[in-house]
Amino acid sequence: MAEFSGRVALVTGASSGIGRATAEKLSAEGAAVALVARREKELSEVAARIAARGGRAEVVAADLSLEAECDLAVRETVARFGGLDVLVNAAGIIGGGSIETTSPVDFDHMMNVNLRSLFLLTRAATPHLVAGKGAVVNVSSVTGTRAFPGLLAYCVSKAAVDQFTRCVALELAPKGVRVNAVNPGVVVTNLHRAGGMDEAAYAKFLERCRETHPLGRAGQPEEVADLILFLASPRAAWITGGCFPVDGGRAETCAR
């Protein structure tokens, strides 16, 4: 029997990158998956791929910077599938800026998408997760544990995700719900390009990862998704409140 048979998962950021890889792997392991992101066309393509492999996925288009749409995403998931067992908060944005150049508007937007949406989704999902003794996995970053110049708002948002993970893990542990986070290094996704990096700069950035990551390369979304699935699975039944690096050794290096 597949590991997640009979389980329902909600995955944010499911239109691309780590979110998409996680949704597809959860489906392959038997989960019914709610695919949540803003881009409905891309979500529909993911749903079609899952359906072609015999899985079940539903598209829930939502702007997670808005409270009402976070609540809607959970409500729609439960209405369509009859419950919710696994919440994967993989949606996020990145943007540059220092203390001198980051505007209050940009700072607030980063916090709304990368942190506040996790709070809203997890709060809305908690009654259902408690009912099914479920699990939450948050996608943080190596920048949650290490400081990098020129990424002020992003680093702060991810450090807050780590602390949010630990706090909620303690609060929900007595109710049988586990909460963990993964802290990726650079992963080959659309994140940086969506954050404003052009193709030439992105190619140089990935090449630089050969030096900045001790294992000599950037990661792939599927490598992070594998860890997410483990943390959401019964195999991790005695693990909660953890923030786990999956970063090619990046967090162990000095600035370079």
From edge to edge, which strands make up the β-sheet containing 178-184?
56-61, 32-37, 8-12, 86-89, 135-139, 178-184, 243-246
C-alpha atoms less than 13 angstroms from C-alpha of 74 in its C-beta half-sphere = 24
The shares of helix, strand and coil residues in the chain, as percent rounded to the nearest 5, are: 50, 15, 35
Q: Do residues 195 and 94 touch, judged by C-beta distance below 8 A?
A: yes
CA dist 213 and 205 (Å) reads 12
> Out of 154, 184, 192, 221, which one is annotated catalytic?
154
Residues near 91 by beta carbon (within 8 Å), at least 6 away in sequence:
12, 13, 19, 36, 37, 64, 113, 117
154 flagged as catalytic: yes
**Which segments of 49-93 are extended strands (E)?**
56-61, 86-89
CA dist 77 and 23 (Å) reads 14
Q: Which residues are catalytic?
A: 154
